[in-house]
Structure 1
Amino acid sequence: MKHLSIGIGVAAAALLASPALAETTYVTADRMLDVESGRYVAAPLITIEDGKIVAVSSGASPEGANVIDLSGHTLMPGLIDMHVHLDGRPEYGGYSGLQFSDRFWSVIGAANARNMLHAGFTTVRNLGASDYNVVGLDQAIEAGWVEGPRIVGAAHALGATGGHCDQTFLPPSFDAKSPAVGDSPDELRKRVREQRKYGAEVIKACATGGVFSRNTAPGIQQLTLEELTAIADEAHFWGLKAAAHAHGAAGIKAAIRAGFDTIEHASYADDEAIKLAKERGTFFSMDIFNTEYTLSQGAANGVLEENLNKERELSQAQRDNFRSAHKAGVRMVFASDAGVMPHEDVGGQFRVMVEYGMTPAEAYRAATVNAAEALGQAGKVGVIKPGAWADMIAVDGDPLNDVSQMTDVDAVIKGGVRVK
């Protein structure tokens, strides 16, 4: 059965690049959720040509037409996860990943991409990967060789020598370091150019320490304001968005002042940081679900006690600050940090987003229109409107009253092709 499922996946992916998409396709369902208004539209009729939506109306499809019939279901835009790591798995924590060859992670990436697509995430932003694994994966998906979501990838994440985005697990004799570290504004400008040269479509930098590294404290700033400003300025010069990994309040505020478009994690955001983000229109990208997996399964997966302790210390603060930031009106996007947790389970985050202050409609906007705007792709993904890619999901219940629907979507359409 493994070979059969892979064959079906490749065949479906190949259709994405097929000239056959010139045929008009219609999608029908009982109703459609307009994520912007938070209201249902009855009996939607979506017209698709060449993988894109050309019309949204209501009623029956033409007789004899090519129809994806989702009767009994609610139609929604394809979801967007703004913080994933496709070439990682949480089952291999700490040093356990060293048992595999480098290319193992490339293959894992293909499996994770398919899992995320089938979970309803038709677009993802990959914020950091080794060896340009996800750049190659993106190319393979676009060429139709494997099945997966649209990827906006960062390649290697930038950081300071010895910081969270450097290699921190091996002794000096290995001379192990990330190719994207830098220790001055000029060095980090060059790192931006190198990552863009080799396929980065967004730039990520680590402004503070992190949980899953050694000898780094999440709350401590690791890049100066001048260095962060150089990174954001250079990214924007090349037309790229900039994302800052930042747990601590000082690093969050420095990254906002430097001009970063999104703040990842934002765990210890204080009142000043929240006010500053709202004033500047900076998006918070807060992964408030994965802590449940890490604290329940991390030790069995080889995660070191040092890292588990850091997760225990910040997880509740991050959730509380998610509530505070949302209440204050900070713009929020959906972010799971998949790779720290299983990619196929990230839909469970909607439950926690609602538990910590969002309505279901607000949570869905975070994973659609807000995320699309933060990507710089408003109107192209995250909506069911003319001109957008024909990326949609369907659930069989009432998602405005039951966010658990998002943990097992019934149908996924990418580029006008039903892939689940």
Structure 2
Amino acid sequence: MRLALSLLLLPALAQAEAASPTWLHCGQIFDSASGKLLGEHALRIEEGRIAEVVAGAPRGEAIDLRGHTCMPGLIDLHVHLSNETNPQAYAEGFRLNPEDFAFRSVGYAKRTLQAGFTTVRDLGGHIALSLRDAVDEGLIEGPRIIAAGKSLATTGGHADPLNGVSRDLLHSFGYPGPEDGVISGPLEARRAVRQRYKEGSDMIKLTATGGVLSFAKSADNPQFLPDEIEAIVRTARDYGFKVAAHAHGAEGMKRAVLAGVDTIEHGTYMDDEVMKLMKERGTWYVPTLMAGAFVSEKSKDPDYYPEIVRPKAARVGPTISATTAKAYKAGVRIAFGTDAGVFPHGQNAGEFALLVEAGMSPAEALVAATRSAAQALGMEAEIGSLEAGKHADVVAVRGDPLQNIRLMEEIDFVMKAGQRYR
């Protein structure tokens, strides 16, 4: 009886914590504007927001984080919370129901939040829309989710849900169209965007080129004609949507950047011309190095991916790393994203060390996952820094992550909107 009562009281206690003033006493705080540590500070949290940031000790009782570095809640701009890699993933799509994937996603969301990621951008899948709403309603624990809903693809392209199935099954299922996120031509492109609006998506994701894990030969061929991408972006703007473009090949990237997309995801074979265009237009680059490293490693296992996927997976990891290093040196704006789901959820922070290996300083890598990611989302007024008025999204690690970026993989404290989760 006592346990049952305690469980019933937990939501009320969490709400009370978020509503009443709370002080955090931090040994250091990370300033995502300057990329510097500012020494001992205290944060006053009230009604889910940062009410005050003061140098030195707090004025009242506080959560003791004096041995820690406090940072803004981390942001991952590329996750897939409705699924997770495993050797049976290709078969599961035929034998599992949407409810099965939905129940799994609850655990993935909790793992992501526990790893310090208080905001994520989910780039593909209907389940994320309901998962987002369940988190917002306090039904489950998870990060704040910006959900794209179904990714937009061309017929037979990356993100066509029936890509690679037999002809008999295709005739049985019916050919997917704009309502399913699959288009041919500008008119269907506009219909697909409007359908995402109807379904409640927060943004649009399109697959401008082939993909590594799709059941198809090419990972990098362009898959949308320029007028199709232009129709998507123009229609998206009418509905207040930002647009992310999955793209491995240079020509597909070029078409997407010229059409006005906001972010390029992966960017494996990005060339100098694309980098120049991205700098001119302010397009963000989201490298997803963790995914590249994972698929390259798993390509060595003949039982993990289908044979048509393995050669693509073997090439992509080292190439993305080299491209990220080159893009960073060229001055392309880089924001943090991992493609979690391609590798196990909750390991997102491994991206920090890979960004540092690609040439970024630890401070720059942290900025990429806070201030820069918030700017890419258009949410810099709400998240991405520890400032009065912003959401009380705070994470902390013991020690100095600017000296050891691997500390980001050992998050000790997680607060989202004033509520403690770790």
Q: By the TM > 0.5 criterion, same fold?
A: yes
Q: Secondary structure at the match of 1:343?
A: coil
Q: Secondary structure at the match of 1:90?
A: coil
Distance, in Å, in 1 between the alignment partners of 2:400 and 2:16 is 36
Alpha-carbon distance, 1:62 to partner? 2.7
Matched, 1:391 2:386: no
- Contact kept, 8 Å, 2:293 with 2:317, in 1: the verdict is no
- What pairs with 1:119-158 in structure 2 (closer than 5 Å)? 119-129=115-125, 132-158=126-152
- What pairs with 1:165-176 in structure 2 (closer than 5 Å)? 165-167=159-161, 168-175=163-170, 176=173
Matched, 1:40 2:18: no
- Contact kept, 8 Å, 1:13 with 1:141, in 2: the verdict is no
Amino acid at match of 1:119: A
Point out the more displaced range, 255-264 or 315-324: 315-324
Distance, in Å, in 1 between the alignment partners of 2:209 and 2:10 is 41
Q: Structure 2-normalised TM-score?
A: 0.92
Equivalent residue in structure 2 for 1:415, among 410, 414, 417: 417
Q: Secondary structure at the match of 2:154?
A: coil
- What pairs with 1:328-407 in structure 2 (closer than 5 Å)? 328-407=330-409
The residue number in structure 2 matching 1:95 is: 91
Unaligned runs of 5+ in 2: none
Point out the more displaced range, 207-216 or 142-151: 207-216
Q: Secondary structure at the match of 1:289?
A: helix
Distance, in Å, in 1 between the alignment partners of 2:263 and 2:112 is 22
The aligned length equals 409
The residue number in structure 2 matching 1:85 is: 80
Unaligned runs of 5+ in 1: none
Matched, 1:70 2:59: no
- Contact kept, 8 Å, 1:260 with 1:282, in 2: the verdict is yes
Alpha-carbon distance, 1:186 to partner? 1.3
The residue number in structure 2 matching 1:112 is: 108
Distance, in Å, in 2 between the alignment partners of 1:146 and 1:220 is 40
- Contact kept, 8 Å, 1:164 with 1:216, in 2: the verdict is no
Over the aligned positions, Cα root-mean-square deviation in angstroms equals 1.9
Amino acid at match of 1:288: L
Distance, in Å, in 2 between the alignment partners of 1:141 and 1:22 is 18
Distance, in Å, in 1 between the alignment partners of 2:390 and 2:365 is 21
Q: Secondary structure at the match of 1:317?
A: helix
The residue number in structure 1 matching 2:46 is: 49
Point out the more displaced range, 148-157 or 48-57: 48-57
Point out the more displaced range, 147-156 or 167-176: 167-176
- Contact kept, 8 Å, 1:90 with 1:301, in 2: the verdict is no
Q: Structure 1-normalised TM-score?
A: 0.93
- Contact kept, 8 Å, 1:351 with 1:403, in 2: the verdict is yes
Alpha-carbon distance, 1:343 to partner? 1.1
The residue number in structure 1 matching 2:182 is: 181
- What pairs with 1:260-299 in structure 2 (closer than 5 Å)? 260-297=261-298, 299=301
Cα deviation, 1:190-248, whole Å, max 9, x if unaligned, reads: 11011111111010011111011122512210001111011111111111100011110
Cα deviation, 1:145-181, whole Å, max 9, x if unaligned, reads: 1000000000000110100010213212223547011
Amino acid at match of 2:79: V
Identity %, equivalent residues: 39
Distance 1:189 1:309, change over 3 A: same
Q: Secondary structure at the match of 2:44?
A: strand
- Contact kept, 8 Å, 1:288 with 1:349, in 2: the verdict is yes
Distance, in Å, in 2 between the alignment partners of 1:108 and 1:216 is 30
- Contact kept, 8 Å, 1:80 with 1:123, in 2: the verdict is yes
Amino acid at match of 2:367: R
Alpha-carbon distance, 1:288 to partner? 1.2
Amino acid at match of 2:397: V
The residue number in structure 1 matching 2:315 is: 313
Amino acid at match of 1:121: F
